Structure 1
Amino acid sequence: MLLRIYGIFLLLLLLQVGDTYAQKRSNEIELVSPLTRTYVYPTRVLWSEGNLENVPHLLEKGNGQANLTNTNVAKFKNTSVSRSSVLLDFGKEMNGALEIVTGMWPGGGARNIRVRFGESANEAMAELGEKGATNDHALRDIELALPWLGKNQTGESGFRFARIDFLDKDAELHLREVRVISTIRDIPYEGSFHSSDERLNKIWEVGAYTVHLNMQDYLWDGIKRDRLVWVGDLHPEVATVNAVFGYNDVVPKSLDLARDATPLPGWMCGISTYSMWWIILHHDWYMHHGNLKYLAEQKPYLQGLVKQIVEKVKDGKEDMNGNRFLDWPSSEDPKAIHAGLQALAILSLERAAEISEALHDVDTKKLCEETVAAMRKYVPEHNNSKQAAALLANVDLLDAGKAYDQVLSRGGSQNFSTFYGYYMLEAMAKAGKYEEAMAIINEFWGAMLDLGATTFWEDFNMEWLPNAARIDELVPEGKKDIHGDYGAYCYLGYRHSFCHGWASGPTAWLSEHVLGIQVIEPGSRKFKVRPNLGHLTFVEGTYPTPFGNIWVKHTKLENGKIKSKIKAPKGVKIIR
C-alpha cells in the first residue's frame, strides 16, 4: 500500500516537473525572435568632406572583427577647425541598425561620432527639425562613442542612407567596416508575378518587399515612422501577405494586439473605421486560412463590436463617433468621409454576418442583416471624392461604371492615394476597367520607382513630380526635394515615411485581377481563376494556399483570346 502511495506521489511529482519544464520551454520559445539578422554593406560613397583616406575600403565586405594589423582601414583626420564626414548609400531601404568596426588610431581611447539616417539622401544630411526631420518612433540623428579596437551598433530605424561625422578635434578615427544589421523575417516569396510588362513586375516586387520589411515582431505600417499596428492600414498589407507569403503568424498576432489593447466601447486606434477593418480582416483571413478555432476566439469581442457599430446607425445612416477618418487626402472632406463610413459600416456588418454564420451565431447574423438592409436604402453623396466613390462602388451603393465615368477616371492618377488607391483599383476592376487600372499603377506607383524608390511611400501626389530630384541623389541646385519640400498632415517633409505597408495594394491587386486568382471558399478550398491581361501578351505567377501554391500562365493568342494553364494543389478546386 505504501509503495502504491509512493508511486502515485512520484508520478504526480514528475507530472508537475514536466508541466513546469513545458511552461518554461514555452516561455523560452515565446522569447525567440522571428527575425533574422543579415549584414549589408554600402554600395557607394555618395558624398564626403574633410581629410579622408581610403574611404572606398568601406564598400568592401569584411568579417565584422577588429584586429591588430590595422590594415585596410578608412581614416578620418580632424583638425581644430575641420571635420571629416561621409555619406554612405546601402542600395535599398532596410530596417536595421548600423554596426561600425574600428581600428587602432594613435593614442587609443574612445572617439565620438554623429550618425544620421535617411530614407532619402537629403534626409541623411538634415538637422533635427529641418524640413520635418525628427527622432519620432526611431532615432535617426544620434551622437555616440566608438571604442578603440572594437565595434558598436546604433539604431534601429528604417533607412537606406547613413551619414557619419567624426566629431573630435585634432584627432584620428580608423574604421574597418560600416554595415547594416538588417532585421527581417527569413521567409520565402511563395507568390509571384511575371508578365510582359517589366514595370508592372517591378511594382509587384516592390510592394511585396515593402510589406516584408514591415513584418517585424508585429505588422507595422512604417519602419521609420509609424512603427505601430494601425488596424485599417493592415488591410492592404494583409492582402499582400496572403498573395505573397501565405500564412504568417504576424497577422493574427497583430489583430489580437489591436483587440486586447482596445476594450469596448473604444475604437481601435481611436478610429471607428479601423474597428470595422478589424472585422473585414478577420473575414479575409478566415477565407484564406480557414482556422475556425481562431475565428471562434473573436466571437465575444465581435458580438460587442457589432452592437457598438449598430448603435451608431440612425434611420439607416451612419453616425459614428470617435475619429472620423478614411485616409489623409480625404480627411478635410466631411461629405466624402460620411459616404465612406456608410460604405464601410455596410461592408463590415456584411462580413460580420458571414463570420457569425460560420460560428452559428444566429442573433448576431440577424442583427447585421437587418441593419445592412436599412443602410442600403440610403445612398450618400460621394462629393467627387475618389475615396468615397470607390467605397460606395465596392459595396454596390453606386454603380461601378458610373463611379468610374463620373469620378475615378477624372484626371487619371490625380487625387489617387497610396492607401485608398487600392480600393480605387478594386472599384475600377468592378467596372471592368482592368487596362485603365494597370495604366494608373504604372503611372502612380511607377513614378516613385522613377524617383529612386525601393519601397512605396506613405503618400504620393502627382503634383510633386515637376522638377523633382531623385531620392538617391543629393538634390541639385534648382531642383525640388520631393522628400523635404512636400508632404502634409502628420507626414510633412522628412517626417514622411518612405516605406509604408498600406501602399502595397498593387501587389495584391495584380495577383487577384491580372493573374485572376481569387479565393471564394473558406480555407482556400475553392478559387476563381479569371485573368485580365489588358495590354499584356502573357502573365505567369503563383498564389499560396494552405495546400501548396496555385500556378497559372495566361497567354494572349493572335485572335485576342486567352490560353490558360493552371496547376492547383490537391484539396483546391478551381472555377474558371
Structure 2
Amino acid sequence: MKQLLILCCLCFLSAATLAQATWIWYPGDYEIWLSNRMQNRRTDRGTFFPVFWKMDSHYPLMDFHKDVTLSEPEQVRIYAEGTYNVKLDGQPFEGTPTVITIPAGKHRINVKVFSQATVPAIYIQGNKIISDSSWLVTYEDKEWIDETGKTSDITATKWLHAGSWNFNDPAILPSAFTLPVKPMAAVKTENGLIDFGKETFGYVKLNGIKGKGKITLYYGESKEEAMSDKGAVNVDWLTFDKAVSQDSTLPASKAFRYVRMVTAGDIHIDNVSMLYEYADVNEPGSFRCSDDELNQIYDVAKYTFHLNTREFFIDGIKRDRWVWSGDAYQSYLMNYYLFFDKGTVLRTIYALRGKDPVTSHINTIMDYTFYWFLGVYDYYMYTGDRTFIKEIYPRMQPLMDYCLGRRDKDGLMEGQVGDWIFIDWADGLSKKGPLSFEQLLFCRSLETMSLCADIAGNQPDAEKYRLLAADLKAKLFRIYWNDQKQALVHSTVNDDVTRYANMFAIFFDYFNAQQKEAVKHTVLLNDSIQHITTPYMRFYELEALCAMHEQSYVLKEIKNYWGGMLRLGATTFWEEYDPHESGPAHYAMYGREFGKSLCHAWGASPIYLLGKYYLGVKPTAPGYATYVVEPALGGLQWMEGTVPTPAGNISLHVSTKEMKITTAGGNGILRFGSSTRPTCTTGTIQQTKDNWYELSLSPGSTYVINYQSVK
C-alpha cells in the first residue's frame, strides 16, 4: 500500500511538472472551418438555408515545426487530426509514430499533416517540448518574409506562429467541439403549447415517447408565430414507432420561446423539455442604478447578447445565425464592457476575413468590409495585443488593396456590380453615387491600416495609408460638408441630409467643436431628419449624443425605445422596433409575417452605452495603459458597475454626492463636474475649468470623492 501511494505521488508530481500543451493549427483555419460548419446549420421550415457569399476553406496540408535544445533526451507523445509523418532534423521516422524520443542537443522537429475534412492539427506532449503558439506553421506557400518585411529566397517557406484555442486535452479533438448544454424545463404547457418563459436556444427534448404516429413541432419567438401553421419559420416533422417509452433529443438546435406540438396517430409523450446551449463566457462587466426599468433593460440586453455569443458573434439566433461583419463590430464593443472575451473576437475576425484572393466585400457589403477594419483597430485599443496585429496585418493588406482598386476617378468608394451598399434598414434611403457615409468608414479604415502597418514594422505602408486617409478626409469635407445646412450631405447625387455620416463623424472626432455643436441641432435633435428605427443605427446615434454629453436625453431615449419593447413583452431585444406599429405587425419583416428576429445582437447596445458613457470608462492608450473615467449620471440618483480591462476590473459607485472608484492596472484620469469644491483624501484634485475637475488614478488603488454633481 505504501509503495502504491509513493508511485501515485510520483505520477502526480511527474504530471504536475509537464507544461500545458494545446492543439495547434494554421492561424485562422480552424476559425474558418468552424464558421462554415456553424453558419450552414441554418434551416427555414426544414429546408437547408446557406449563406449567399463566397465561403473559403482551410488548407488541407500543413507543416508544423519547432527548434529545440535539450540537455537530456526527452520522450514526446504525438496526436494529430489527419494523416501525418514526423521528421527529426530532416530525417523521417518510419511509419506513423505516436511516441518518439528526441536526443539531447539542438534539433528541429517537423510534423506534416494532411486532412481534407477537418483542419490539420497537432497536439505534442513532452516534458519541455509541447505544442503551443511558439510552433511555426506553413501551408507550403514557398515564400519567406524576413523581419524587415522584405521577400527573399523564393524557394524558402513562409512560417507563421501556430493558432490555438483552449483545447488542452489530447483526447478531445478540435473537430469534435460543441458548445455546452444544460437541461431546462418548460414553465407552462397548455393545449399543446409549451412555453419556456423567455426566448431561448437549444435542443428540444421529447420525454417519454411511446406509440406510433407523427409529431409536428412549430417553433415561435412569439406565441403568434408558434400558433401559425404556415408562418412559423422553424418547423420539425417527426415520425415515431416506439413500443417502449423512450426519450428523444432532436439533433438540430433552434431558437424559440414557444413550441406548439401537434400529434397524429396513437402516440403519447410525457412532456417536452430542452437542452439549453450556451457559450461558457464570464461576465466581469456589470451595471446597476437607481432606475428599475433601466436595470431591466440592462439585464435583457445582457441576456440577448449572451444568446448571440456562440462559437462566434452572430446576428440573431433564429435568423440568420450567421456571422455578419456589421453586427459583429457592435458585438465586439459590447463584449469589451461585459465579457472582455478576446477569443470570440479573434475567432470572428479570422472567420470574416477568410482567405485570399479577395474577390468581394465581406458579406458582399461595402460598409461591412470597413467595419472589419474598424474591429481590428478597436481590438488593439481595448486589449493592447500587438502580436495579433502583426499576425493579421498581412491579411489586411489584400483586403485594402481590393478596396483601393474599386475607387472611382475621384478616389471615392462607390458601389459597383456585386456590391451591396447596406447602411441600414430604412425606407427610401438612397444608395446612388459615392455616399458620405461610405467615405467616412473608408477613411477610418485607412487610418487603421496606417496604425497596424506601423505596429507590423512596415513604415512605408504606414506613411502611404496615413497620406491616403488625410487626402480622403479633406475630400470628405470639401465634397460633402454643406455650410448652409451645417451638416454632411448624404451623397454627391443629391444634397439630402441623413443622420448616418454626421453621427459617425462626431465620435470619430472628425468635426471641430463648432461643427459638432451645429450637427447636434441640425441633424441629431432635428425631427425633420428621417428617424432611425433599428437598434443597429440607434447604437451609433445615441453614442454620438453621449459623446456630446447628452446623457440625460439619451437616458430617456433608451427607456422609450428599449423600454417600449419590454412593455410589449419582449424577453430579448429585437432586430427592429417601430413604436408606431401595433400587434403582430411588430413581428413582420422582409415580407414575411414572422420574418423579424426577436433576439438580435445589435439590440443589446445599452451594455456598451452604459459602460462607456455613463460609467464613463474608456482606454486612451492600447490595453488601458492609460484611460479616462468620466461618469455621467444623466438624471440617475446613483449607479454602480464594473468595467473589465486586461489588468482587472475598474469598479465604480457614483451618486450625486459621492464617487468611489477602485482601479486595476494602467494610469487613469477621473474627469467630473461638481458645483462645489470636491475633496479626496487619497489623491489631489485639480480644477481644469469652471466646475470641472480631474484626479489622477494610480493602479490598484481606491478613491472616494465627495462632490456635488452638476445638473
TM superposition score category, shorter chain reference: 0.7 to 0.9
Instruction: Tell me the SS of whatever aligns to 1:91.
Output: strand
Select the residue among 464, 488, 504 that pairs with 1:391.
504
**Cα-to-partner distance string for 1:177-201 (whole Å, 9 max, x where unaligned):** 3112110023231100001112222
1:15/1:102 CA distance change after superposition, 3 Å: closer
Query: Cα distance, 1:515 vs. partner?
Result: 0.4
Counterpart-to-counterpart distance in 1, 2:292 and 2:433: 36
CA contact (8 A) 2:281 2:341 kept: no
1:544 has 2:644 as partner: yes
Instruction: Tell me the SS of whatever aligns to 2:447.
Output: helix
1:152/1:327 CA distance change after superposition, 3 Å: same
Task: Name 1:530's counterpart in structure 2.
Answer: 630
CA contact (8 A) 1:271 1:323 kept: yes
Query: Cα distance, 1:349 vs. partner?
Result: 1.5
Give the number of aligned pairs: 495
Residues 335-354 of structure 1 aligned to structure 2 (within 5 Å): 338-354=435-451
CA contact (8 A) 1:235 1:502 kept: no
CA contact (8 A) 1:207 1:503 kept: yes
1:161/1:16 CA distance change after superposition, 3 Å: closer
Select the residue among 560, 567, 571 that pairs with 1:450.
567
**Cα-to-partner distance string for 1:39-94 (whole Å, 9 max, x where unaligned):** 1111123x42xxxxxxxxxxxxxxxxxxxxxxxxxxxxxxxxxxxxx111101111
1:186/1:509 CA distance change after superposition, 3 Å: same
Instruction: Tell me the SS of whatever aligns to 2:311.
Output: coil
Instruction: Tell me the SS of whatever aligns to 2:635.
Output: coil
1:146/1:233 CA distance change after superposition, 3 Å: farther
> Does 547-556 or 29-38 show the bigger shift?
29-38
Task: Name 2:354's counterpart in structure 1.
Answer: 260
Query: Cα distance, 1:370 vs. partner?
Result: 1.4
Query: Cα distance, 1:423 vs. partner?
Result: 0.8
Task: Name 2:668's counterpart in structure 1.
Answer: 574
Query: Cα distance, 1:103 vs. partner?
Result: 5.5
Q: Which amino acid aligns with 1:402?
A: A
Task: Name 1:515's counterpart in structure 2.
Answer: 615
1:319 has 2:411 as partner: no
Select the residue among 501, 509, 522 that pairs with 1:406.
522
Instruction: Tell me the SS of whatever aligns to 1:493.
Output: coil
Task: Name 1:222's counterpart in structure 2.
Answer: 316
1:388/1:331 CA distance change after superposition, 3 Å: farther
Select the residue among 449, 452, 455 that pairs with 1:358.
455
1:553 has 2:697 as partner: no
Instruction: Tell me the SS of whatever aligns to 2:585.
Output: coil
Counterpart-to-counterpart distance in 2, 1:101 and 1:281: 44
CA contact (8 A) 1:203 1:507 kept: no
Q: Which amino acid aligns with 2:575?
A: E
Instruction: Tell me the SS of whatever aligns to 2:654.
Output: strand
Select the residue among 283, 307, 327 that pairs with 1:233.
327
Counterpart-to-counterpart distance in 2, 1:260 and 1:463: 41
Q: Which amino acid aligns with 1:175?
A: I
Instruction: Tell me the SS of whatever aligns to 1:329.
Output: coil
CA contact (8 A) 1:93 1:454 kept: yes
1:115 has 2:212 as partner: no
Using structure 1 for the length normalisation, give the TM-score. 0.80
Q: Which amino acid aligns with 2:642?
A: T
Counterpart-to-counterpart distance in 2, 1:284 and 1:177: 47
1:196/1:163 CA distance change after superposition, 3 Å: same
1:440 has 2:543 as partner: no
Q: Which amino acid aligns with 1:481?
A: P
Counterpart-to-counterpart distance in 2, 1:222 and 1:446: 20
Q: Which amino acid aligns with 2:324?
A: W
Counterpart-to-counterpart distance in 2, 1:502 and 1:431: 22
Counterpart-to-counterpart distance in 2, 1:241 and 1:93: 21
Query: Cα distance, 1:256 vs. partner?
Result: 0.6
Instruction: Tell me the SS of whatever aligns to 1:497.
Output: coil
CA contact (8 A) 2:315 2:328 kept: yes
Task: Name 2:238's counterpart in structure 1.
Answer: 143
**Cα-to-partner distance string for 1:232-259 (whole Å, 9 max, x where unaligned):** 1111111111110012422211211111
Counterpart-to-counterpart distance in 2, 1:163 and 1:34: 27
Instruction: Tell me the SS of whatever aligns to 2:517.
Output: helix
Query: Cα distance, 1:262 vs. partner?
Result: 6.5
Q: Which amino acid aligns with 2:539?
A: Y
Counterpart-to-counterpart distance in 2, 1:387 and 1:27: 51
1:402/1:537 CA distance change after superposition, 3 Å: same
Task: Name 1:35's counterpart in structure 2.
Answer: 179
Task: Name 1:459's counterpart in structure 2.
Answer: 576
CA contact (8 A) 2:366 2:415 kept: yes
CA contact (8 A) 2:204 2:274 kept: yes
Select the residue among 518, 521, 536 that pairs with 1:419.
536
Counterpart-to-counterpart distance in 2, 1:449 and 1:284: 31
Counterpart-to-counterpart distance in 1, 2:298 and 2:454: 35
CA contact (8 A) 2:333 2:608 kept: yes
Q: Which amino acid aligns with 1:423?
A: Y
More RCO (CA 8 Å, sep 6+): 1
Instruction: Tell me the SS of whatever aligns to 1:152.
Output: strand
Instruction: Tell me the SS of whatever aligns to 2:186.
Output: coil
Percent of residue pairs identical? 26
**Cα-to-partner distance string for 1:99-151 (whole Å, 9 max, x where unaligned):** 011165xxxx43321101100011001123x3xx43xxxx4343343734101
* Structure 2 segments unaligned to the other structure (5+ residues): 1-71, 77-87, 101-110, 112-121, 125-130, 132-167, 481-488, 491-495, 671-711
Instruction: Tell me the SS of whatever aligns to 1:167.
Output: strand
**Cα-to-partner distance string for 1:489-545 (whole Å, 9 max, x where unaligned):** x37331211111122222111100000011122123222100111111111000112
Task: Name 1:295's counterpart in structure 2.
Answer: 389
CA contact (8 A) 1:330 1:387 kept: no
CA contact (8 A) 2:184 2:273 kept: yes
CA contact (8 A) 1:491 1:497 kept: no
1:35/1:252 CA distance change after superposition, 3 Å: same
1:431 has 2:548 as partner: yes
Task: Name 1:58's counterpart in structure 2.
Answer: none
Larger helix proportion of the pair:
1
**Cα-to-partner distance string for 1:316-339 (whole Å, 9 max, x where unaligned):** 533343211212226732269812
Larger strand proportion of the pair:
2
Counterpart-to-counterpart distance in 2, 1:127 and 1:401: 53
Counterpart-to-counterpart distance in 2, 1:359 and 1:554: 41
CA contact (8 A) 1:118 1:159 kept: yes
CA contact (8 A) 2:577 2:586 kept: no
Q: Which amino acid aligns with 1:121?
A: K
Task: Name 1:160's counterpart in structure 2.
Answer: 257
Counterpart-to-counterpart distance in 2, 1:330 and 1:311: 31
Task: Name 1:481's counterpart in structure 2.
Answer: 584
Q: Which amino acid aligns with 1:405?
A: H
Counterpart-to-counterpart distance in 1, 2:625 and 2:524: 34
* Structure 1 segments unaligned to the other structure (5+ residues): 1-6, 49-85, 469-479, 558-562
**Cα-to-partner distance string for 1:340-388 (whole Å, 9 max, x where unaligned):** 1011111222222222222222222222221222222233213332233
Task: Name 1:74's counterpart in structure 2.
Answer: none
Counterpart-to-counterpart distance in 1, 2:322 and 2:631: 36
Q: Which amino acid aligns with 2:504?
A: L
1:183 has 2:291 as partner: no
CA contact (8 A) 2:357 2:398 kept: no
Counterpart-to-counterpart distance in 2, 1:530 and 1:351: 26
Counterpart-to-counterpart distance in 2, 1:197 and 1:491: 38
Counterpart-to-counterpart distance in 2, 1:529 and 1:17: 54
> Does 397-406 or 287-296 show the bigger shift?
397-406
Q: Which amino acid aligns with 1:482?
A: A
Q: Which amino acid aligns with 1:161?
A: Y
Counterpart-to-counterpart distance in 1, 2:254 and 2:414: 39
1:524/1:15 CA distance change after superposition, 3 Å: farther
1:192/1:25 CA distance change after superposition, 3 Å: closer
